[in-house]
Structure 1
């Protein structure tokens, strides 16, 4: 007996206990009795359930392409049907509390007694569904009655996405699992679960695809379908479906919501119908109010641009050449009065909507745009006396907002992919302005789910490795194994979350993944400290043909930056030996980097990006930093005649570096000009409200290039508004703004500047204005935080703190409000 007990004890120590299926924070959900259900019968007409897909891509010069019918090579494909599921039940006792836990894939809406539960949309967030799926909790205590009926409407989302790119991207047909836990006042409990006793029917949604749009037939609406009194005897039985994953987790990320209403600014006559101008490029959808006869087909097509004649939309930039068709919603009227409709299971990236099928010219008040994104908190603000600079900030924020869709996407229409390089570039700017702690944790977890599942690119010399993630961090469209520069997000996303939010959990959870990625680079990729290759300084002005910085430079700089990040995180984790090893490797890489790329005669790394990114990554030797910055200024003002030539890596820190090394006049110049290439060329000359994939020398009389016009990677530079003009810089040795620097650039030409940031410790404010030859700088330092004031460009005699002279041009401030006066 003792020997048996010994074996049992030994087995327990060797084999860890199994994880509880669906375990989550708070009370665990017992999924054992619940079953995945769906409905595969399909009564939709081919006319509505399928759409045409153009399989041939047009050439880059879309202005001259006039395809023949043969060249279009059209194929027709159906979506999986959207379904309704319902279950009625009685409650005969007083309720203490009631909660629903539900996962509906790809997307769901939950109904109870005829009403939608909650205000979440496009729920749950996208995951790699074979690895994990999210469930969501809803408190329904106040919605239950004596007689009740639950209803679930399902759409395809990314789970059933079989239209764009390839049908192989689909995981399967829509399905759901749900548990309703009821706690009664007498202490007893009851659970209502999804199983084969539920009834099922096709929904009025005849077509739904996350890329292509939605078709809704209001004539097929089933009134009160989720109410207790509805007679469902004609409905079919729900079908048991194969579980997509065994890893069902509670979604911790903020839900998608309709966060802001956007009113259209104009209605234009079109060749067919009318064109609605929303006044800004946005992500979400159009809500319509129409009064038409039964059977009227109201067709809405979405784009970022108009054709030069202004009488048709131009869908080229939204991905028609790769997804196969235009973003299109269709509403079929039921007649009998005013009808209000908006889609449920799709979203669009657009500024213009061409609408057909209306008998009369529509009015502006018939339409309402909804900006739809993850409902993360806005925590950063910026405003200054220059309207053009304000437009750069506002365009940056709009572009970021438009791509917070349960992940940080590269664009909200064409790809909708979580490209890792894009996330790295914009992470700091986004973290200054939105609370993305939950999104970065999901991103890190997503990256872990795609380790080792993609092949290396056939053009690369980088070998396949099980420790390497994919270029895209979630889904099936992973675009091969991550190259060394894009893969840097494996380390830097957790690190940025650690630095900006003080998030230690993400470091602990991601350590093995980060360590594995770095080991892969150390063992198989770097050659004597240098990494040869990568995507490089992506999308400089005019496109990648104008890339003037070798990918080896930026990849090696990112490798060094990752080594330093690993060293600092290892110190936090108490891994002193690891920290020492990473530091030694970083020293080796820094020496190799300068040996390979630094030109002693010119004090340059060969390009604007070379100089900027070397300074940003702290790879430049101390005695050379100012000289490299001076050369950067010359490369801009002399070699490029006052214009930048940087891609995403070089542009991210460009203005912060210029300002920090005394070249703010160059920044001022770059922010004043409006000719090509410049930021003002985008926002003032072309009135764009989001950043394009790259700046090109567009001709207003012709069609715009087919590249996306809503790419958040090009918002990365906007970190400079906080870290440079406001001077709010995190101290990486004291994460979460326990300590931080205040080192503002009082940019010439600005009369005032106001910058705010809600740090984990509280509100930080850095507001300054010019007044009679002085700068009046108002500073707020939150509780339990220390600010290090850095004013090295001034002498202590020029500085007063609360009207008293200071002893040094650098000093510390504890929590409180201060006024610093600078002559």
Structure 2
């Protein structure tokens, strides 16, 4: 059969397209390959990197013809790269007939500031003004500024900038970025991320001005009492007064260079942002805009971690919708509906405002029965009672006195039209109460999230499952704000348990490579002095959930290897993993959060601990640490055998039975007996689950793997409590934390039951990376042709290219189509128990329906 040329497309550097700000000296390059020929493969490649466009300038790296199939994670191996250097690169590939394809279109990447000395005099600066005695008093946020003159037109300019806790930069009055809530949340003692911005078009010959507005964020939190004081943030987070650092590098039209850096020559003044807290909200006084008295900035000398390029997708506005006015609750108080529950902010426009007119925005997921706003499921830390006035906090801030209801205040300047939106907070809400207005307000709701690219699509012939998929994706995006959170309002923390339950669902739906890599680093940074790992990363003082929450640390490394071929994280963090695993026994903690029927610790947690040891063995072998691998293999074996001796039959709960089937390493007899008991328990509950965060996930996988996907389909399509259908029937537009409706305590935007979406892709569509896959190079296709469905369509955009599966039932026949990218092979599992090996390309199979 004649071979056809391979064309390289969708070139990436460190998972991004043409990125600005890379601080790896050997950035990793990836590309997809296109061809019309089935079974084609890459046998060699050549990368050419130069200093100028179109292959011009100096050659930085000509790899020559490199024999091999590598098309992802190819490390740059050319001349040493310098700070700020821009690299243009292209690639071509040879096919299996040893014929070279055309050169790809050119891509680029640009280095950040690689060493502390490259910041060239830029220093952290802050406002000399002391903090108020009462932490809840208005404390205007600082606006730093610097004016400078450029003698000629600008050829190019880059702004390297960050602030703690958040920053917004402006050049001549224009924000050069559509990102918000920057930088990403980290342990600021370990690292602080900065952003690289192209500001060339914003500068001009003559007078210019650079300003940086800084918010409190996670760097200057209030002494909120959360969960009985366990997450008293100022005691557990590295904190300080708001600060910023910036360096502006300018190349003028004649080739000369000019630099502007933060130092004590900068001015600082009070901004119109008078108060800001991640949970409570903001106070913006438009009368004060531009009026603060300037004073000299001072150096911020408190130590923080090194500056690093922001590695993750920035948080952006990902969608907008106009809120509808539901009612006027009383004169000047309107209730608005965003249409769906989501995370984001509101852009409010009013006409004919008066100076000092006070607008108050309050947010909630629900309405009370009388049609008024119910804000209680979004109250920070579940502290519900006490004084409702934010500014009347007692000086003894240890006492849980003030409920942190989501609330923003805008004070008007007075104008024919004014528009307000928050700067440094995000809300979880559907409903909005606006008070202090004289006419119906115009409110544009801006949904926000990390700007992760969509990676997967799923649809089927059952409308309820399509609804669940839509609701799940909205929930997931609502909880991607630099961490994968459990809810976007009440807590906002990066809980490991939710990651363990939903990581593959997130991976199927979105490109999580960069964000999950950042979260792995967060976990390494969160390690306690004794080597233990906490429940959340960054660390906020919570460490009681047990092994299932820090299990996210090895699990994400393992999954990033399978999905994206990521190995550098494993090399960087293996020592942290080994220390944690050797220092814990996995015996205490939460077993199945929000299960309707509880399961004992001793029948569940050891199995998670053993699985962590198996993952550590795999990662140790990858690094060539055979002695360590043997140690972890023995630990997994002895832990599993101890469980099997203690529980020849798992306790009679769905979760305990699912744990045993998933991780118990049962022999065939015990496995069959356990499976029959699980099916019997499902029948006893009329097909409903009694499981929580982990048991639900494990049941989907175990039942489908063992040939009982019909049972999983039954509880997936239930419409009575407990079920996803009951949530939707109850008005849910995002997933609930609790199977039953809650109007006071539990979040209505919680990702953990989104594990069902992974089942859609992995078992209904059948797309699964093999256990030993490296960047999805090996695929197991295991579609389950359940009787309730006549059609399923699933696709996943891997780093190598799109993977597509579609099947349709017509009478007694099943028509199945599969598409695989170059660089992948698959094993297709058919209903009669046979398998079929597939190479890259498009395939069609027709078989008898089961």
Q: Which residue in the other structure is 2:485 paired with?
A: 409
User: Which of 358, 363, 366 in structure 2 is aligned with 1:305?
Assistant: 366
Aligned counterparts of 2:842 and 2:557: Cα–Cα separation in 1:
32
Matched, 1:474 2:542: no
User: Which of 697, 717, 722 in structure 2 is aligned with 1:672?
Assistant: 717
Q: 1:752 to 1:167 in 2, by over 3 A?
A: closer
Aligned counterparts of 1:820 and 1:156: Cα–Cα separation in 2:
58
Aligned counterparts of 2:172 and 2:413: Cα–Cα separation in 1:
23
Matched, 1:135 2:194: yes
After superposition, what is the alpha-carbon deviation per residue over 1:549-571, rounded to whole angstroms, capped at 9, x for unaligned?
11223221111211221222222
Aligned counterparts of 2:716 and 2:272: Cα–Cα separation in 1:
51
User: Which of 808, 832, 844 in structure 2 is aligned with 1:794?
Assistant: 832
Give 1:538 deviation, angstroms: 0.9
- Check conservation: 1:422, 1:712, Cα contact below 8 A: yes
Give 1:641 deviation, angstroms: 3.2
Q: Which residue in the other structure is 2:286 paired with?
A: 218
User: Which of 339, 350, 355 in structure 2 is aligned with 1:279?
Assistant: 339
The structure with more helix, counted as a fraction of residues:
1
Give 1:693 deviation, angstroms: 1.6
Residues 85-104 of structure 1 aligned to structure 2 (within 5 Å): 85-104=144-163
Q: Which residue in the other structure is 1:681 paired with?
A: 726
Residues 50-129 of structure 1 aligned to structure 2 (within 5 Å): 77-78=136-137, 80-129=139-188
User: Which of 319, 339, 343 in structure 1 is aligned with 2:422?
Assistant: 343
Aligned counterparts of 1:266 and 1:330: Cα–Cα separation in 2:
19
Residues 104-503 of structure 1 aligned to structure 2 (within 5 Å): 104-146=163-205, 147-165=207-225, 166=232, 168-169=234-235, 171-184=239-252, 186-222=254-290, 235-271=294-330, 273-291=333-351, 292-319=353-380, 321-322=382-383, 324-362=403-441, 366-453=442-529, 466-475=530-539, 477-480=540-543, 483-503=546-566
Q: Which residue in the other structure is 1:460 paired with?
A: none
- Check conservation: 2:378, 2:428, Cα contact below 8 A: no
User: Which of 604, 617, 626 in structure 1 is aligned with 2:672?
Assistant: 626
More off after superposition, 781-790 vs 614-623: 614-623
User: Which of 557, 563, 571 in structure 2 is aligned with 1:508?
Assistant: 571
Aligned counterparts of 2:131 and 2:634: Cα–Cα separation in 1:
66
Aligned counterparts of 1:503 and 1:94: Cα–Cα separation in 2:
43
- Check conservation: 2:494, 2:538, Cα contact below 8 A: yes
Give 1:151 deviation, angstroms: 0.6
Aligned counterparts of 1:315 and 1:585: Cα–Cα separation in 2:
45
Aligned counterparts of 1:586 and 1:25: Cα–Cα separation in 2:
43
User: Which of 30, 34, 41 in structure 1 is aligned with 2:129?
Assistant: 41
Aligned counterparts of 1:815 and 1:321: Cα–Cα separation in 2:
52
More off after superposition, 245-254 vs 316-325: 316-325
Matched, 1:811 2:836: yes
Give 1:320 deviation, angstroms: 6.8
Q: 1:94 to 1:77 in 2, by over 3 A?
A: closer
More off after superposition, 163-172 vs 143-152: 163-172
Aligned counterparts of 1:482 and 1:320: Cα–Cα separation in 2:
16
After superposition, what is the alpha-carbon deviation per residue over 1:467-489, rounded to whole angstroms, capped at 9, x for unaligned?
112222115x2213662222212
Q: Which residue in the other structure is 2:600 paired with?
A: 550
Q: 1:156 to 1:389 in 2, by over 3 A?
A: same
More off after superposition, 428-437 vs 89-98: 89-98
- Check conservation: 2:452, 2:512, Cα contact below 8 A: yes
Q: 1:341 to 1:728 in 2, by over 3 A?
A: same
More off after superposition, 213-222 vs 311-320: 311-320
Aligned counterparts of 1:621 and 1:21: Cα–Cα separation in 2:
57
Q: 1:650 to 1:321 in 2, by over 3 A?
A: closer
Give 1:186 deviation, angstroms: 4.8
Q: 1:411 to 1:43 in 2, by over 3 A?
A: closer
Q: 1:419 to 1:538 in 2, by over 3 A?
A: same
Aligned counterparts of 2:240 and 2:495: Cα–Cα separation in 1:
24
Aligned counterparts of 2:354 and 2:208: Cα–Cα separation in 1:
35
Give 1:270 deviation, angstroms: 2.3
Aligned counterparts of 1:810 and 1:611: Cα–Cα separation in 2:
29
Give 1:440 deviation, angstroms: 1.5
Aligned counterparts of 1:137 and 1:634: Cα–Cα separation in 2:
58
Give 1:247 deviation, angstroms: 1.6
- Check conservation: 2:281, 2:407, Cα contact below 8 A: yes
Matched, 1:643 2:703: no
After superposition, what is the alpha-carbon deviation per residue over 1:339-387, rounded to whole angstroms, capped at 9, x for unaligned?
122111111111111111111234xxx2111111111111011111111
- Check conservation: 2:83, 2:112, Cα contact below 8 A: no
TM-score by length of 1: 0.83
Aligned counterparts of 2:164 and 2:838: Cα–Cα separation in 1:
51
Three-state SS of the structure 2 residue aligned to 1:510 is: helix
Give 1:106 deviation, angstroms: 0.5
Q: Which residue in the other structure is 2:610 paired with?
A: 560
Aligned counterparts of 1:173 and 1:27: Cα–Cα separation in 2:
25
- Check conservation: 2:593, 2:694, Cα contact below 8 A: yes
Give 1:188 deviation, angstroms: 4.0
Three-state SS of the structure 2 residue aligned to 1:490 is: helix
User: Which of 668, 684, 692 in structure 1 is aligned with 2:736?
Assistant: 692
Aligned counterparts of 2:374 and 2:635: Cα–Cα separation in 1:
54
Matched, 1:28 2:114: yes
Unmatched tracts of structure 2, length 5 or more: 1-81, 86-109, 226-231, 384-401
After superposition, what is the alpha-carbon deviation per residue over 1:380-430, rounded to whole angstroms, capped at 9, x for unaligned?
111111111112222221111111000111111111111122222211111
Give 1:78 deviation, angstroms: 2.3
Give 1:661 deviation, angstroms: 2.3
Q: 1:789 to 1:283 in 2, by over 3 A?
A: same
Give 1:25 deviation, angstroms: 5.0
Three-state SS of the structure 1 residue aligned to 2:822 is: coil
Give 1:738 deviation, angstroms: 0.5
More off after superposition, 161-170 vs 341-350: 161-170
Residues 737-748 of structure 1 aligned to structure 2 (within 5 Å): 737-748=776-787
Give 1:779 deviation, angstroms: 0.7
Aligned counterparts of 1:244 and 1:285: Cα–Cα separation in 2:
33
The structure with more strand, counted as a fraction of residues:
2
Q: 1:480 to 1:627 in 2, by over 3 A?
A: closer
Three-state SS of the structure 2 residue aligned to 1:775 is: strand
Give 1:629 deviation, angstroms: 2.1
Three-state SS of the structure 2 residue aligned to 1:612 is: helix
RMSD over aligned CA atoms reads 2.5
Give 1:297 deviation, angstroms: 1.2
Aligned counterparts of 1:744 and 1:471: Cα–Cα separation in 2:
35
Q: 1:421 to 1:819 in 2, by over 3 A?
A: same
Give 1:605 deviation, angstroms: 4.6
- Check conservation: 2:682, 2:688, Cα contact below 8 A: yes
Aligned counterparts of 2:214 and 2:120: Cα–Cα separation in 1:
22
TM-score by length of 2: 0.80
Aligned counterparts of 2:163 and 2:761: Cα–Cα separation in 1:
40
More off after superposition, 403-412 vs 290-299: 290-299
After superposition, what is the alpha-carbon deviation per residue over 1:29-63, rounded to whole angstroms, capped at 9, x for unaligned?
6225112112243899x9xxx8xxxxxxxxxxxxx
